[in-house]
């Protein structure tokens, strides 16, 4: 099958099947061979790897993955793409296509059955409308993962990579950095896709930490604290957490923990690092 990274071949296949792009599925297909090469290289895919691809579309990146990986499993929600994938991937015997919503797939089980529970790689040009649930779902389910290399909205990539002091810093930054080491591989302009998205994109690689970077007694509590702090970004931490409906600490308990950490009583949540959130969570966790 012709390389779909070439726009001419993509147009040909789309016309042949009279395929209609569905906005609701975030369908923007890659048509740039340099970007495709870069993604595969950044993910470090080898013949030893089992790769999960989310949203193969017409199979453009899947072809590249099939060349580089041992096995590829591609999960695509749009059933109109399945006959197209049967044609574009016909030359590869190491690819399985599953017609399913990725949010309904038991990826842990897939990794166990297909890769003997060894760490898998995830590579995707993600549908932007569900970037966060996909990534958090993968991390929180404790699927064995080596790295996740994904195309996301540029702004989202920035949010994942940044630290305190930036306007982009938030709950997503902390959640991603708790599980992985983020690295922005490339910025990708709209003209590398068909149709062109309205926003800029970036490829980001999230390399899973072998050990969590901080010691937390109660992960769920730490994430509740983080979410509550950023929901009330403009307030001081004491007021934000003291008023949060999902928490039940008194303002005195919160102020006490903040003071014990050597922080100012008027500190805001957006200035705390991941290790400070871990410490705050460990201190408050003893109270309830």
Q: Which is nearer to ligand SAM, 73 or 102 (CB)?
A: 102
Binding residues for S-adenosyl-L-methionine: 28, 30, 55, 76, 101, 125
Residue among 56, 170, 182, 240 that touches ligand SAM (CB under 6 A): 56
Q: What are phi and psi of 101, to 5 degrees?
A: -80, 125
Q: Which listed range, 82-90, 98-106, 109-117, 173-181, lies at the site for ligand SAM (CB under 6 A)? A: 98-106
Provide the 8-state DSSP code for 234: T
* CA 122 vs CA 59, 125, 188, 211: distances in Å: 15, 10, 19, 19
Span from 101-109, 212-220, 223-231, 264-272 in contact with ligand SAM (CB under 6 A): 101-109
Please say which residue, 130 or 228, places its beta carbon nearer to ligand SAM. Answer: 130
Pick one of 13, 19, 27, 171: the residue that binds ligand SAM (CB under 6 A): 27
106 makes contact with ligand SAM (CB under 6 A): no
Question: Tokens 């709209």 appear where?
Answer: 190
Binding positions for ligand SAM, 130-189, rule CB under 6 A: 130
Per the DSSP assignment, residues forming a β-bridge with 236 are 268
- Residues 6 or more apart from 112 whose CB is under 8 A from it? none
Torsion of CA 53, 59, 61, 66, to 10 degrees: 80
State which of residues 76, 158, 253, 279 lies at the interface with ligand SAM (CB under 6 A): 76
Contacts of 167 by beta carbon, 8 Å cutoff, 6+ apart: none
Counts for the chain of helices (H) and strands (E), in that order: 12, 9
**Which position among 55, 240, 242, 269 is part of the footprint of ligand SAM (CB under 6 A)?**
55
Under rule CB under 6 A, residue 102 binds ligand SAM: yes
Residue 233: CB atoms within 10 A of its CB come to 13
Residues near ligand SAM (CB under 6 A) are: 25-30, 54-57, 60-61, 75-78, 81, 101-103, 125, 127, 130
């Amino acid at each position: 099958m012709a390389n779909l990274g070439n726009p001419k071949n993509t147009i040909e296949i789309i016309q042949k099947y009279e395929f209609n792009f569905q906005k609701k599925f975030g369908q923007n297909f890659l048509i740039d061979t340099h970007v495709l090469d870069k993604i595969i290289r950044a993910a470090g895919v080898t013949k030893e790897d089992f790769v999960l691809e989310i949203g193969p579309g017409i199979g453009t990146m899947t072809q590249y993955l099939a060349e580089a990986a041992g096995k590829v499993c591609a999960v695509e929600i749009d059933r109109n793409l399945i006959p197209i994938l049967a044609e574009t991937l016909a030359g590869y015997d190491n690819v399985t296509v599953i017609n399913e919503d990725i949010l309904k797939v038991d990826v842990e089980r897939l990794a166990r059955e297909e890769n003997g529970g060894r760490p898998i790689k995830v590579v995707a040009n993600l549908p932007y409308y569900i970037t966060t649930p996909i990534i958090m779902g993968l991390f929180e389910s404790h699927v064995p993962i080596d790295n996740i290399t994904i195309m996301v909205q540029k702004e989202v990539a920035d949010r994942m990579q940044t630290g305190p002091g930036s306007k982009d810093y938030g709950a997503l930054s902390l959640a991603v950095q708790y599980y992985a080491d983020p690295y922005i591989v490339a910025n990708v302009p709209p003209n590398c896709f068909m149709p062109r998205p309205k926003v800029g994109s970036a490829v980001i690689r999230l390399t899973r930490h072998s050990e969590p970077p901080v010691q937390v007694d109660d992960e769920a509590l730490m994430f509740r604290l983080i979410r509550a702090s950023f929901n009330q970004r403009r307030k001081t931490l004491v007021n934000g957490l003291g008023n949060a409906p999902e928490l039940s600490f008194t303002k005195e308990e919160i102020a006490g923990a903040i003071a014990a950490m050597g922080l100012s009583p008027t500190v805001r949540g957006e200035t705390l690092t991941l290790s400070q959130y871990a410490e705050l969570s460990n201190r408050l966790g003893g109270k309830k």
